[in-house]
Amino acid sequence: MQKLAQSWLVLQISGSPFLLGLDAFLGEIPILLFSLVGGVAADRTDRRHLLLGSQFVQMSNAFLLSGLIATETVKVWHILTLSFVNGFAQAFGGPAYQALIPSLVKAEDMPNAIALNSIQFNLARVTGPVLGGLALTKLGAAWCFGLNGISFIAVIVSLFLLDIRFVPEKTGESMVGTMRKGFGFIRQKEGMVALIALAFTMTMLGIPMMTFLPVFAKDVFHKGASTYTVFLSFSGAGAVCGALMVAAIENTCRMGRIALIQLFMLGTLTTGFALSKSVTASCILLFLAGVMLMAVFSLVTSLVQLITNDEMRGRVMSVYNVAFRGGMPIGNLAVGLLARRFSAPVVLAFNGVLLCALGLYFLFVHRRVADL
């Protein structure tokens, strides 16, 4: 809900695709800058406490932005600043959250659990745009941010009720030394470096399609917020189906190969959406792209979790977060800059071609991921 309102608000106030990309960049760049520190913290403190702190910060930001809009004092720089603060909170909450998941399920159930966990997020992507679109058009943007702030209360209460404690061993080792051990583990573990490189490139090339949906709704199809809402809903519905598909399959030794085939299909669908001239066709392509996007992300994340030891999990997942989330701001900013010269459809079509090439490279040339 907040993402819909925020993206539309930035574009409405500024009329600039570049600032839309910059907003997404500022929301993600703290992941790149601070996740490594967050990963060390997740291995040296109670992971539940880190999650609670992250949720409180994000809730406060949502209420603050709602207040700024309600008092008609909001500026683009307010939105950009709060995007950065949210990203900073997520840099510490993300590694703790991902490191906590294996404490709740058995190793053989990890892919299914990660996929099922993705469903709740993507159900929000389906229902959120519908509710957000109604709130945006009927009540105003302030309600979108206010309702989002209220939603954090349920998450915070759930974390307080969670009877899971991570008690790390006491160590006098410096933070830098702890971080170096994590890097050493990643270098030595077969296929880990390739998975992290794949995570960075696939998010850098794949996520901008979601970020620039307002541009397609407004500038390509010359529609309003309702069309943007429909685009987000179809993409979210596809992501839910993709997560269900991964959750339903049995654990297989060919997870890497399946993920790379899906990555190639994602590239094909991205190019198709970028070149589409029909709203209906675009919705179908967004749905199918959502299926592939969530399926490949769930499988790659599962592979990283499965080959990681618990005592290293916070640090490994922080590096993975840097790659996975760090590719997003770079991709969004690059598309925002290039779209000013070549147009968003042309740039996203090229991204799709590169995703296809990436999948083929890891399938047939650099086979460490395909063999997992």
Helix ranges (H only) for 276-370 are: 279-306, 313-342, 344-364
pLDDT given at position 19? 87
Does a structural domain hold residue 371?
no
Low-confidence stretches of the chain (pLDDT < 70) are 107-108, 111, 114-133, 165-172, 247, 249-253
Does a structural domain hold residue 286?
yes
pLDDT given at position 136? 74
What is the C-alpha to C-alpha distance for residues 61 and 8, in angstroms, rounded to an integer? 18
pLDDT given at position 171? 64
What is the C-alpha to C-alpha distance for residues 113 and 60, in angstroms, rounded to an integer? 30
Does a structural domain hold residue 199?
yes
Which CATH number do you get for residue 155? Answer: 1.20.1250.20
pLDDT given at position 232? 81
What is the C-alpha to C-alpha distance for residues 297 and 198, in angstroms, rounded to an integer? 10
Q: Could you tell me the two tokens for 144?
A: 């979108």
pLDDT given at position 123? 60
Does a structural domain hold residue 108?
yes
pLDDT given at position 165? 65
What is the C-alpha to C-alpha distance for residues 360 and 261, in angstroms, rounded to an integer? 8
Helix ranges (H only) for the chain are: 2-14, 17-44, 47-70, 76-100, 110-134, 141-161, 175-188, 192-206, 208-211, 213-215, 225-248, 255-275, 279-306, 313-342, 344-364
Does a structural domain hold residue 47?
yes
What is the C-alpha to C-alpha distance for residues 297 and 320, in angstroms, rounded to an integer? 12
pLDDT given at position 118? 62
Number of domains making up the chain: 1
B/e letters for 81-118, b = 16+ CB within 10 Å, e = fewer, are ebbbbbbbbbbbbbbbbbbbbbeebeeeebbbbbbbbb
Q: Which domain holds residue 115?
A: 2-161+175-364
What is the C-alpha to C-alpha distance for residues 121 and 244, in angstroms, rounded to an integer? 12
Cβ atoms 326, 94 nearer than 8 A:
no
Cβ atoms 266, 288 nearer than 8 A:
no
Does a structural domain hold residue 168?
no
pLDDT given at position 355? 95
Neighbours of 68 (CB within 10 A): 17
Q: Which of 330, 324, 344, 338 is nearest to 98 (CA)?
A: 324
Q: Which of 22, 24, 28 is nearest to 325 (CA)?
A: 28
Which CA distances in Å does 155 have to 158, 170, 197?
5, 29, 32
Does a structural domain hold residue 242?
yes
Does a structural domain hold residue 72?
yes
Neighbours of 289 (CB within 10 A): 27
What is the C-alpha to C-alpha distance for residues 322 and 200, in angstroms, rounded to an integer? 8
pLDDT given at position 242? 82
The residue count of the chain comes to: 372
